[in-house]
Chain A
Amino acid sequence: MADGKKIMVVDSYVNAESGHVNITVQTVTTQGNQSFNGPKKTYGCDANMYRSRFGSDIENVKKWIKSQHLAYDGAHQDLMDAVGKLKGTEI
């Protein structure tokens, strides 16, 4: 990903009772020697859906999470860029 951004998996497990898959990710942005963590978000999938839609190829799951999380993280990026610069300025 551009601008030193990486989507990192911070937790992943399968519910032993229901088979529900849980994968928690977080965008980590690196600028120079500093890194910033975005909000965590969990992506889940029930066992039937996982088997039928993603199969055994874990890359399919990664693609789905990546597409979802990019939209989640970047949904309000334009506002963040504009309003985020206001802090510390005189009005």
Chain B
Amino acid sequence: MAVVNELPKPMFPGMDPTFSLHYSEMIDAVNSLLGYRGDVAIKAPLDLGGNRIKNVGTAVEPSDAVSHALAEASYSATALQPKLESTGSNPLKSVRRVNDPNQREQSSSFLKDLLSTAPSANQVIPLTTPSMGGISVTIPAGLFTFADRSSVYLQSRTDLLTLPTATSITSISCVGNLVTVVTSAPTGVVAGQGVTIAGVSPATFNGSFTVVSVLSSTSFTYQLDLGTVSGSGGRVELLNVHYYTITKRSGYVRLLPVVSGDTAANRLQACFDNFQIIAVVVLTSTGSNVASSGGGGSAIVGSPTAGAMF
């Protein structure tokens, strides 16, 4: 594009050549400032003294300035908001580092409903004493700590509970890894239920097991790899397992309906509907099984360790 001078350069015949030269340079400078020689080049920062730049055209190059209207339409919070939504073209992908304790929610309903640490860590220790032909179980008052480190003050409670029955064994034998037990009276056990075999000779038959199948009202099987061997004497003790729970933020301790074994499935069932187990009490026909009660210090029969379930 040809360079055009808006201001012409008149000739001054007879004038001092130095004057003509300076005059010509002034004309060039004015034309440059008016843009008639292309872009106006400013050689120093432009100080407008707080005045506006008006009538800014549409930006073309990355270094072009933009108008207020364009900025509002393209870059304002209102303009960006729909793009940043989860369904927008540029959703926010990472706004919180979950493992960073400085960014962790301190008061989250989600965290509050998470299962807490094991009851053993919360020092919820049920006290059991024989009483009125059954057993008296006391859950002491105390603090229970949740996963978010908040705590609730547990209300104490004392329950009178019936001991489960024991039935004499008339015959017991093992073939391979399956033990068949015949009792003197119906036991009422069902497959999957936890039972304790005690007092049998040889003692290798004894222990806590899960019923594999029920053959009749007085006969059932459990799994134990003893080879081919028979035993004599002994009894079948059923377990009464009591789960003490709390719900949400309440310190009121509930006692769920009794179950027959401290199994993983029963613990999960006990934790439905926002119930949270705070203590387990296992009763046998002879009293409380302290080793299996309380904070779950011993293994669940045929399942992962009790502590792992909380």
Contacts and interface: CB of A to CB of B under 8 A. Distances in A.
A42 B258 contact: no
Given A17-B257, A20-B257, A49 B141 contact: no
5 contacts: A20-B255, A39-B155, A43-B159, A44-B159, A46-B162
Interface string A35-53: 0000111111110111011
A18 interface: yes
Nearest to A47: B162
A18 B253 contact: no
A12 interface: no
A30 interface: no
B49 interface: no
Nearest to A20: B255
Interface of A: 15, 17-18, 20, 22, 24, 39-46, 48-50, 52-53, 64, 68, 72
B156 A46 contact: no
* Residue among B133, B156, B159, B253 with most chain A CB within 10 A: B159
Contacts of A20: 159, 255, 257
Contacts of B133: 52-53
Interface in B145-198: 155-162
A42 B155 contact: yes
A20 B252 CA distance: 15
A39 B162 contact: no
Contact of A46 (B141, B157, B258): B258
Interface string B199-216: 000000000000000000
Per DSSP, are chain A's interface residues mostly helix, strand or loop, or mixed?
mixed
B156 A39 contact: yes
Given A20-B255, A39-B141, A53-B133, A46 B161 contact: yes
Tier of interface size on chain B: 10 to 19
B279 to A, nearest CB: 13
A89 B224 CA distance: 67
A46 B159 contact: yes
What 4 pairs across the A-B complex have the smallest Cβ distances? Answer: A18-B257, A42-B157, A44-B159, A45-B160
Contacts of B159: 20, 43-46
A20 B243 CA distance: 13
A41 B156 contact: yes
Given A41-B157, A49-B134, A49-B160, 19 more contacts: A18-B256, A18-B257, A18-B258, A20-B159, A20-B257, A24-B155, A39-B155, A41-B158, A42-B155, A42-B156, A42-B157, A42-B158, A42-B252, A43-B157, A44-B159, A46-B134, A46-B159, A68-B158, A72-B156
A40 B250 CA distance: 13
